[in-house]
Amino acid sequence: MELIGMTTEEVLQRRKAKKFNLWLGMIGMFMMFAALSSGFIVYTASGVDKGIKTLLPVAFAYSTAVIIVSSLSFHFAYRAAKFEQIGKQRLLLFITLVLGIAFFVIQVEAWGVLAERGIYFVNNNASQSFVYVFTGMHLAHIIAGLIVLVRCIIGTFRAPKFADNLFRMELAGIFWHFLDLLWIYIYVFLLLNQ
């Protein structure tokens, strides 16, 4: 919601700053995961451990499908917002939120499978610990994404102005799709190193 009394130019400058901050934050997240990937590669190349040495839980594949579907549902929510179909937008955002929560639950279930196999965060094979680091850091960002989705849903109940609603959805979409692509990268990286 924009501040009352702001000129159009001030509103546009504020929106530009918000979008810049979002991109800056995502670049930081990307760099963090690139550093984790590099650390994993250097560590396994050192010969101390030779990779994860276990098959990834199938739950990771299920969660990948869930997060991809959530990106699709968000895309359609954004389209509904563009056509001012607030009820449809709200429903699709709720579906996206439920899928995001399902992703989170499936990831935690995958940790349970790893624990059943004797793979813990702290163990003799640090390469296996990286699975928890990658997925845990991603889940922390998913929590942030879920909060963003809740704010978008709440925004649909406040008789939103078209431009405000669309801007909120645009920022949320950039972040949610980024989380989707980030998970696909993490999953493929872990698959290639199992």
The pTM assigned to this predicted structure is 0.91
- CATH code where residue 126 lies: 1.20.120.80
- Evaluated on CA atoms 97, 99, 103, 108, the torsion sign reads positive
Whether 13 maps to a domain, the answer reads: yes
Task: Give the per-residue pLDDT at 138.
Answer: 97
What is the domain count for the chain?
1
Domain for residue 3, yes or no?
no
pLDDT band at 1 (very low <50, low <70, confident <90, very high): very low
Q: How far apart are CA 80 and CA 97, in angstroms?
A: 16
Q: Band of the pLDDT at 68, cuts 50, 70, 90?
A: very high
Give one DSSP letter per residue of 53-83, joined into a string.
-SPPPTHHHHHHHHHHHHHHHHHHHHHHHHT
11 pLDDT more than 80:
yes
Domain range for 140 is: 8-48+55-192
Q: How would residue 57 be classed by pLDDT, with cut points 50, 70 and 90?
A: very high
Per-residue pLDDT, 183: 98
Instruction: Let me know if residue 178 belongs to a domain.
Output: yes
88 in any annotated domain:
yes
The answer to the question of residue 130 being in a domain is yes
